[in-house]
Amino acid sequence: MTVDRLLDFAVTINPGFYLIIAALLVAVAKDAFTRAVALIGGPGLALFAMLYPPVSGADVSRELFVGFELSLYRPDSLSLIFGLGFVLAAALGGVYSLHRRDRLQDAAGLVYAGAALGAIFAGDLITLVMFAELATLASALLVFAARTGPAYRAGMRFLTIQIIAGLLLTAGVALYGVEKGTFLIAELGGLWNGLVIGIIDPGSTGGMLILAGVGIKAAFPLVHNWLTDAYPNTTETGAVVLSPYTTTMAVYLLARFFAGYEPLIWIGAAMTIYPVFFAVMENDLRKVLAYSTNNQIGFMVCAVGIGSTLSINGAAAHAVAHIVFKGLLFMTMGAIQLRLGTTKASELGGLHRTMPWTALACLVGAASISALPFFAGYTSKTMIMTAAESGPGLFVVWLMLLFASAGVLEHSGIKVPFMAFFSHDSGKRPEEAPFNMLLAMGLSSGLCLIIGLYPGWFYELLPFRDQAQEFLVQDLFSISHILQQLQLLTFAVLAFMVLWWFRVYPPERPGVIIDVEWVWRKAGPMVGRALTRPLRAGGRIVSALTSSAIAGIQSASRQVFAAEGVVSRKFPLSATAILALCILGVVMLISLFQ
C-alpha cells in the first residue's frame, strides 16, 4: 500500500523536478555508477511521471504563493509530446556524456533539461517564467564549460541575449497577468479543439513583450545569432545537450500562446530560407548544424502560425523528431571534436576509414533531416508541408518551404557527412568514438528509423490524435507524397554530383562568415569608439595636465624638504621662537572666534 501511495504521490509532481533532483545527485556523486544512474535514471523517472499523470488537460494541484495562485503541474497532450522529446534528449545526452566526468556539465545539463521540462508542464505563467530563467542560467553554464577564451566570450554574449529575452518575457507575463486578473494558463483562454492553445493576444502590450521574449528564444530572424555563436563554442557534449531545449521550448510556448497568429507564418518561412545560404558558406560543421537548427525551427514556427490541427500536429511531431535527429548529428560532430579537436570542414575529410560507425550514424541523421521517406523527418515534415500546401493563400509560403527542404539536404544532408567523412582524404586517422558515444548514436539512429518506419505509436502521442491517425492512413505513405519527396531529393543529390563533378561546388575555406551579430560584435564597438573619441582625447589632456602638476609639486617638495632643502637649513633660535609665537597666535584667534 505504501508503494502505491508513493507512486500516486510521484505522479503528481512536475516531471522537471526529477531531473533537477538527479542533477543534485550527479553533482555529489563520487563513483561512476551513481553518476550513470542519476544521468539516465533521472530522465527515466521523469518519463514514468509524465506517462501516468493523475489527470490530463487540468491542473494537478494549485498552490497559493505570496498571494498568487500557481499551478506547478498541468499536463495535456501538447505538453506530453514536447516532454517526451525532452526526456529522450536528456537520457540520450546522459549516455553520450558518460565517458567524460565533469560535474559542472553533468549537473548543468540535467538542470537545463529539468527546467525546460518544468516550463512546458507549468500550469501558470509565473512558474513558467521561473523555470525558463533557470533553464537560461543552466544553459549558459554549458557554454562556459569549455573553459576557453572564445567560449567565455560566447557565453557572455549568450547570457546577455538570453537575459534580455527573459526580461521581456517576465515583463510581458507581469503585464498580461495583471491585465487579465490571473496567471493560470487554463483561465487565460478557452479551449480550441479540446486544447488550451493560442490563448494570448499579441496585440496587447503584455502579449507583445511575451512574443518578443519567446521570439528571441526561438531565434527569430535578426536575433538568431546567439544560437550560431554559442553552440560551436561548447565542448563535444555541450552542443548535444544544448541543442534540444531552448528553441524547442520556444516553439512549445508559441504553440501554447500564439497558435494561428498569421505573422508567424512569414517569420517561420523566412527562418527556413536564410540559414540555407549561411550554412553553404560556413566552414565549421557544428555551426552549419546550428544554422540548420534555425532552419528547422522555422518549419515549426511556420506550422504554428498556420494554426490548423494538422499543422500544430506537424509542429509538435517535428519538434520531437528534430530533437532526435539533430541531436544525432551533433553527436557525430561531437565525436570528431573529441578525437581531433576541430569540426572545421577544411581540416576534415576521409574520416570514414577509422570512424565508420560514426559515419553511418551521421548518414542516418542526414537521411532523417532531409526527410527521406521512412526516416523520422519525413514522418513529421510531411504534415507541415501538406498543411502549407492545402492552406488558403499559402502557395508562396509552400514554395519557400520546398526551397528550404532542398537547402536542408544541401547543408545537413550532404555537406556535413560528406565534408567530414568522405570528400578528399585529409590524412587524419582518428580513433573511433568511445563506446558510450556510439551507444547514444546507435539509440538515436534506431529512434530515427522507428519513428520513420512505424509512425503509428508516435502519431498516437500528438496533440490532435484523431487527425494524426487520419493523416497516417490517408496521406503519409501515399504514392504521390513518396514520389514527390523522392524526386526532390534524388534530383537535388544529382545537382550536388553535377556541381562537384564540374568543380563549381564552393570549396571549404577557413574564415568566419559575418552575420547580423556583426552589428554588436563589430559595429557597436566601432561606433562606441568613435563616439567616445572626444572624451578620450579630453581625458588624455586632463591626464597630461594632472601628471605635470603632480611632477611640479613633487619637484617643489624635493626642493623644500630634501636634505639640502629650504627647511633643512639652520635657522637662528629667535626666528624659531617668533614662528612658534605666530602659530600660537593663530591657534588662539581660531579658538576665540569659535
Partner 1 sequence: MNEEKPTPTPNQKPQLGEAGEHPLSVLLFSWMRSKLAFRIFMAVLAALGAVLIGLEVVFSHRPVTSIVTVPGFFGIFGFVAFAIAVLSGWPLGKLLRRPEDYYETRSGEAGRDR
Nearer to partner 1, 491 or 561 (CB): 491
Q: Which is nearer to partner 1, 511 or 538 (CB)?
A: 511
368 within 8 A of 342, measured Cβ to Cβ: no
**Out of 352, 364, 419, 462, which residue is the one contacting partner 1 (CB under 8 A)?**
352
Could you tell me where the beta strands, DSSP code E, fall in 81-231? none
Q: Which of 159, 289, 321, 489 binds partner 1 (CB under 8 A)?
A: 489
- Closer Cβ to partner 1, 134 or 362, answer by number: 362
Question: What residue ranges in 114-266 does DSSP mark as E strands?
Answer: none
Closer to partner 1 by Cβ: residue 65 or 518: 518
Within residues 421-440, the interface with partner 1 by CB under 8 A covers: 422, 429, 432
Q: Look up residue 103 and give its three cell numbers.
A: 560535474
Residue 298 as a binder of partner 1 (CB under 8 A): the answer is no
The nearest distance, CB 411 to partner 1, in angstroms, is 8
Choice from 101, 103, 147, 353 touching partner 1 (CB under 8 A): 353
Binding partner 1 (rule: CB under 8 A), the pick from 494, 527, 581, 588 is 494
Q: Which residue, 76 or 515, has its beta carbon nearer to partner 1?
A: 515
In whole angstroms, give the CA distance from residue 283 to residue 73.
Answer: 44
The site for partner 1, by CB under 8 A, has a size of 54
Residue 79 vs 405, nearer CB to partner 1? 405
Q: Which CB sits closer to partner 1, 13 or 394?
A: 394
The cell for 324 is 532526435
**Stretch 150-189: interaction string toward partner 1, x if CB under 8 A:** ----------------------------------------
Helix 77-96 vs helix 246-258: angle between axes, to the nearest 10 degrees?
180
Per the rule left: phi > 0, alpha: psi between -120 and 50, beta: everything else, 524 is alpha
Q: How far apart are CA 531 and CA 579, in angstroms?
A: 56
CA 466 to chain centre: 32
3-state SS class at 419: helix
Closer residue to partner 1 in complex, CB, 106/410: 410
Among 487, 546, 568, 576, interactor with partner 1 by CB under 8 A: 487
Identify the bridge partners of residue 61 per DSSP, sorted by sequence position.
73
Could you tell me which residues are beta bridge partners of residue 69? 64
Please provide the distance, in angstroms rounded to a whole number, between the alpha carbons at the two ends of the chain.
Answer: 89
CB 477 within 8 A of CB 382: no
Count how many Cα atoms sit within 13 Å of the Cα of residue 217 in the half-sphere of its side chain.
33
Does 359 bind partner 1 (CB under 8 A)? Our answer is yes
Least Cα distance to 383 among 467, 331, 469, 310 occurs for: 310
| Binding-residue pattern over the window 495 to 514 for partner 1, x denoting contact by CB under 8 A | xxxxx-x--xxx--xxxxxx
Binding site for partner 1 (CB under 8 A): 276-277, 280-281, 352-357, 359-360, 402-403, 406-407, 409-410, 422, 429, 432, 479-480, 483-499, 501, 504-506, 509-515, 521-522, 525
